[in-house]
Amino acid sequence: MFVAETLMPALTELKNEYEKAKADPVFWETFAYDLKHYVGRPSPVYYAKRWSEHLGGAQIYLKREDLNHTGAHKVNNTIGQALLAQRMGKKRVIAETGAGQHGVASATVAARFNMECVVYMGAEDIKRQAPNVYRMKLLGATVVPVESGTKTLKDALNEAMRDWVTNVDHTFYILGTAAGPHPYPMIVRDFQTIIGREAITQMQEMIGRQPDIVTACVGGGSNAIGLFYPYVNEQNVRMVGIEAGGRGIQTGQHAAPINEGKVGVLHGARSYLMQDEHGQIATTHSVSAGLDYPGVGPEHSYLKDIGRVEYEAVTDEEALKAFHDLCHFEGIIPALESSHALAWAAKEAPKHNKDKVILVNLSGRGDKDINTVAQICGITL
Ligand SMILES: *Cc1c(COP(=O)(O)O)cnc(C)c1O
């Protein structure tokens, strides 16, 4: 934890309560009930046969987080944290959001659990993401525009923390990715490991063994750590996290803090971080809003340093190609975030024999991205 003294009581309370919840079987039963009946889990693993044949190498399987209620993996975490809030008797939840996906997932569970919901969102992002702003409002949330800094995600996160410090007696802060101060990276990881735990059972059923490679895109790192963590001790499984290479790492216009490799402190955690020559947070670029964050969860930095997980970057252009290919070959419109992991798998598959298996986490569906893609392709909707 690298936080101001004022945040310590809130974080300590959360840590203590989570430890109790973690040891309580009823908590996990309640979580499992909602994952099954509200989210629609387990999400299937799907064999992308046509795409694999087209690529001509390893077989590609997809973990279909895009089929969850609300269309991505984020809801796994927001349900878990809403249940924690309920346990702690907090009737108000707050959240930060960039593209609006975590805001929507938070507003969704707040409605489900009858809680007041306030979402902090950069004023710049509000302009760019009108449909998600309206979704949050439909779900009953209040969206607060953040006018500080670059008016984007990192500023929204600062503002949410400020609210939390002031209102901690009745407010729970639902953090959206496996980043931020301890215990958040651990809590978010634990809720998202449902992805990897299901995958282990499903791969065993489908092919009688585990994949040779598992891969996922890395923004803050929650979908990736959710898939990777249950595989950490499976030494034969190679793991590759994919960051947003934007216009190319060499251009500086990207969102790939691990690939860039400078250590810093942001939002209460010490991790790899994109910085300028003065150590200030650098501006980021990615075609996918969900990967457009200058930091990354600290556990990914650890997994990189111990050599257990490799981290690569793919460019906007490569991700867009994978986006179109998955549409054409499999009838699945993937999120632009997930398209980064798909793009890496598409480059990797031809290097292997047909008996090798790559499992890609399809973290979300791409309906939210069709305007972005159409615009890039010069199509007016
Ligand atoms: C938010 C988002 C991501 C990036 O967040 P992580 O915490 O790195 O998983 C990836 N995919 C989708 C579909 C998202 O909505």
- Cα separation, 241 vs 296, whole angstroms: 11
Query: In the prediction, which pLDDT does 261 show?
Result: 85
Q: Is residue 166 exposed (0-12), middle (13-18) or buried (19+ Cβ within 10 Å)?
A: exposed
Nearest of 353, 350, 377, 374 to residue 51 by alpha carbon: 350
Give all strands (DSSP E) within the chain, no chain letters: 45-47, 59-64, 92-97, 116-122, 142-146, 171-173, 213-217, 238-246, 263-266, 269-272, 309-315, 357-362
State the average pLDDT over residues 60-71.
98
Contact 300, 356 (CB under 8 A): no
pLDDT band at 75 (very low <50, low <70, confident <90, very high): very high
pLDDT in tens, 199-217: 999 999 999 999 999 999 9
**Model confidence at 115: pLDDT above 90:** yes
Q: Could you confirm whether 74 is annotated as catalytic?
A: yes
Confirm whether 348 is a catalytic residue. Answer: no
Pinpoint the residues of the chain covered by CATH 3.40.50.1100: 5-38+74-188, 40-71+193-376
> For residue 82, is pLDDT > 90?
yes
Catalytic option among 52, 301, 338, 363: 363
pLDDT in tens, 143-153: 999 999 989 89
Is the pLDDT score of 128 beyond 90? no
Q: How many helices and strands in the chain, by DSSP H and E?
A: 16, 12
Which residue type does 378 have? G
Closest to 191 measured CA to CA, from 301, 73, 300? 73
List the residue whose alpha carbon is closest to atom 1 of ligand 1: 290
Burial environment of residue 56 by CB neighbours within 10 A (0 to 12, 13 to 18, 19 or more): exposed
Mean pLDDT of 81-90: 98
Catalytic residue among 63, 74, 154, 368: 74
pLDDT at 55 over 90: yes
Identify whether 222 is a catalytic site residue. Answer: no
> Which residue carries 């002031």 as its tokens?
166
- For residue 73, count CB atoms less than 10 angstroms from its CB and return exposed for 0-12, middle for 13-18, buried for 19 or more: buried
What is the end-to-end Cα distance of the chain in Å, rounded?
46
Q: Mean per-residue pLDDT for 154-166?
A: 94
CATH topology of domain 40-71+193-376: Rossmann fold (3.40.50)
pLDDT of residue 372: 94
Q: Strand 269-272 and strand 309-315: pairing? A: unpaired
Residue in 65, 96, 159, 348 annotated catalytic: 96
Quick one: fold of 5-38+74-188? Rossmann fold (3.40.50)
Inform me whether the pLDDT recorded for 324 exceeds 90. Answer: yes
Q: Which amino acid is at 67?
A: L
Dihedral of the alpha carbons of 260, 263, 265, 267, in degrees to the nearest 10: 40
Q: What is the pLDDT of residue 218?
A: 98
**Mutate which of 104, 291, 301, 365 for ligand 1 pocket (most atoms within 8 A of beta carbon):** 291
pLDDT for 295 = 97
Q: Ligand 1: which residues within 6 Å by Cβ? A: 72, 74, 101, 177, 217-224, 290-291, 335, 337-338, 363-364
